[in-house]
Structure 1
Amino acid sequence: MTSIIQLFLPILFVTLISCNESVEQKNTTPTQEKNELVDSIKTENITFESEGVKLAGTIYSPNNPHSAVVIVHGSDQVPRMTKFAELLAKKNMLVFTYDKRGVGESGGVYAGPEVGTNNISVENLNLLAKDASSAVDLIHDKVGDLPIGLIGASQAGWIIPIVANKNPLVEFMVLFSCPTITTLEQLRFQFYTNERSDFWDYHTEEDAREHIKNDPDKYQFEATDPKETLKDVSIPGLWLFGEKDIQIPVKMCIEHLNALKLENKPFEYVLFPSLGHNTIKTEPIDISVNWIKEKSLEIKNNKSTLPR
């Protein structure tokens, strides 16, 4: 409870500042606002190589970033996430977002369909993790001593821990509506809810857990278990969940995180009772931004105390 309260305190400060800015902007023309944004955030289109293919993306650089983040895709054929990147850059983060392999200007082959089969196979998730890791390497060469993190949603919950485990340049991670259960368990739950928005009006937590435990799998492939990877990850992590999620069983995921926290993993989470699977909204983003600022400062302070 203390950690959640600490997260919310900076939000009040951010809210007050935002209100003041809105008053000042009444005397600012839209053209001036646009020019100020262009002046304060520089963009650079860039390509990089991963596993033999060229991937394309954009770096968003504010004047005085406190940290750098690479956006990791969810499922689907996702191009670079420009609106999310701009939002984070406005909050003084250097952001790199790229077209998923096989999408937009990026080379390679997109693995699909989205639900089941090869899209969440061990091979594809590890390949996407290598892409994200190559993006981290690229940003590190650009930013030097800035703390570097990963931020993503949904399917990124299986990818981000793999990258964090294998690439020591990753120093924090933020995960929106990301599973801590296996890929096969997630499919059992998703098939059970069948995208019904009123699912939780007619089913209990016990119903869902029983189904996930016993339902036969529609697809036969090796499962990816993020818990096994997270056991070897020691960087700070923040998960943001919506209680009404019908893509992942949130309370099961939180239970797994609590078990990892008992092993002294520096993991935190926040649960939003009114939200579903889409948690990339104002309040969760504000909480994550303040958390990143806090962790980045801690990382910088720790580095400054290390012997040279």
Structure 2
Amino acid sequence: MRIYLVVGVIATFVAGCNNNTAPINIPETAFVAGSCEVGVYGESSDFVVITRRNENAYYTFNNGITGKIDYEGLLQCGEGAVKIEQSKVLRIQAILTTDTEFDSDGALLAGQLLEPADAGPNTPLVALAHGSEESGWIEAVSYPYQLVARGVSVFVYDKRGTGRSQGQYSQNFVQLADDLAAASQEAKRIAQGRFARFGLFGFSQGGWVAPLAAEKSGAEFIGIGYGLVVDILEEDASQVELELREAGYGDDVITKAKEITDVTARLAVSSYKDGLQELDTLRDKYRPEQWYPLVKGGFTGVLLGMSTDELRDKGIPMFDRLNIDWSIKPMDVLRDVNVPQLWVLAQNDREAPIAKSLERLQTLRGEGKDITIFVFPNTDHGMWEFEQGSDGQRTYTRVTDSYYELLADWAKDAVQPPYSMSEAQ
């Protein structure tokens, strides 16, 4: 049995991130300008979330429209309220917020439990596994607030080496799954008596981590947003293929590029020993061809840009420090998950192309796994809607409508399609 050391817990009934006052009851006609406080403003069907990262504050409406707050923009912050378009005033919601620290394998991690004001024995509780970014999530992302505003209690934490948490930043999925399991135990300990179902939500890289942690965390369900059912090596190869196909190249070029990604995969798992000479040969062979500079992927482009001597003598410090376990096979992991799974995929995801993942999820479903799949059209990684120029560049406009609603309904065991333009698979 793992023992979790609780270093400190502070629980307060808060308005946003104001940890010592009750919500200010402001008539709609009264508004006093003030600093931006993290929290939820408005009612359950019409609200906006305020988050903060570094010195900047951001808004995300319940329908996914988002942006950075400036004092001449769409939204103005006030004392216990926000004003929209210089006219509509939304008051801050009461949220029960508990700040905590917990131990996971010797690292002291910072966490925060957010609960609706009326949280009780029927309220679902989820712990969040975030992506590969090296920044903390506490008060910085909208997910916890989007969910708590919809009646779901949420435990969010800064993963090791980010934000307020100690430890060395890592992309070792087994280690991160242990951290998520520790976070889950802490969440359930604090929320004891005020929750019913407990589950895990993982986003992007968290889609690899949450299934690994499902059993050890005691999850009754999991939800994955824009994750993958391919391993890291397959992801890299899929990205390279998508890059080339979007540039108009066909199977002949894809076959050539696969020669390269097969070798870079061997190099990655062998600490840059197996395949160095072959990589040199392929570089010389394909460098004159027009498609060659377009090869990027997750790591193949980096390897192509380094000399054999550099790879042999120095490795790739930017990757080597991540402690990656290349052996994780998602299909094997998902076959061991015995609770209902929700997978929400972005149809036009460039970072995590969905074709192979969708095929494998349907295979698992055919094997009897309880898997629900939604695909949102015209969306990229992060469930971002976008406008694409003639040069292929994308301008991201908003998080797609109804995405957050789908996640909340899954936590409540109350999924009721349709969700905007999404398609159930």
Q: Which residue of 2 aligns with 1:224?
A: 328
Deviation of 1:37 after TM superposition, in Å, equals: 3.2
Alpha carbons of structure 1 residues 231 and 126: separation in structure 2 relative to 1, 3 Å: same
Q: Deviations over 1:28-69 (max 9, x none)?
A: x96565795342x12221111100110002111112342111
* One-letter code aligned to 1:181: V
Is the 2:127–2:199 Cα contact (8 Å) retained in structure 1? yes
Higher strand proportion (structure 1 or 2): 2
* One-letter code aligned to 1:56: A
* One-letter code aligned to 1:228: D
Residue number among 200, 206, 226 corresponding to 1:177 in the alignment: 226
Residue number among 195, 212, 231 corresponding to 1:162 in the alignment: 212
**Under a length normalisation based on structure 2, what TM-score does the superposition of the two structures give?**
0.55
**Under a length normalisation based on structure 1, what TM-score does the superposition of the two structures give?**
0.74
Pairs aligned (count):
258
Distance 1:148 1:271 in 2: 24
Pairing 1:262–2:393 present? no
**Which runs of 5 or more residues in structure 2 are unaligned?**
1-43, 49-60, 62-76, 83-89, 271-325, 384-398, 416-425
**Which runs of 5 or more residues in structure 1 are unaligned?**
1-16, 23-28, 112-118, 297-308
Residue number among 95, 108, 124 corresponding to 1:54 in the alignment: 108
Deviation of 1:227 after TM superposition, in Å, equals: 1.0
Distance 1:275 1:186 in 2: 18
Q: Which residue of 2 aligns with 1:127?
A: 175
Distance 2:252 2:151 in 1: 43
Distance 2:138 2:259 in 1: 35
Quick check: which has more Rg, 1 or 2?
2
Pairing 1:68–2:125 present? yes
Cα RMSD (Å): 3.1
1:215 match: secondary structure: helix
Residue number among 142, 166, 169 corresponding to 2:190 in the alignment: 142
Pairing 1:90–2:145 present? no
* One-letter code aligned to 1:42: L
% identical aligned pairs: 25
Name which structure has the greater RCO, CA cutoff 8 Å, separation 6+.
1
Pairing 1:37–2:88 present? no
Q: Which residue of 2 aligns with 1:80?
A: 137
Deviates more, 1:177-186 or 1:61-70: 61-70
Pairing 1:103–2:151 present? no
Is the 2:109–2:159 Cα contact (8 Å) retained in structure 1? yes
Deviation of 1:127 after TM superposition, in Å, equals: 0.7
Deviation of 1:223 after TM superposition, in Å, equals: 2.8
Alpha carbons of structure 1 residues 271 and 220: separation in structure 2 relative to 1, 3 Å: same
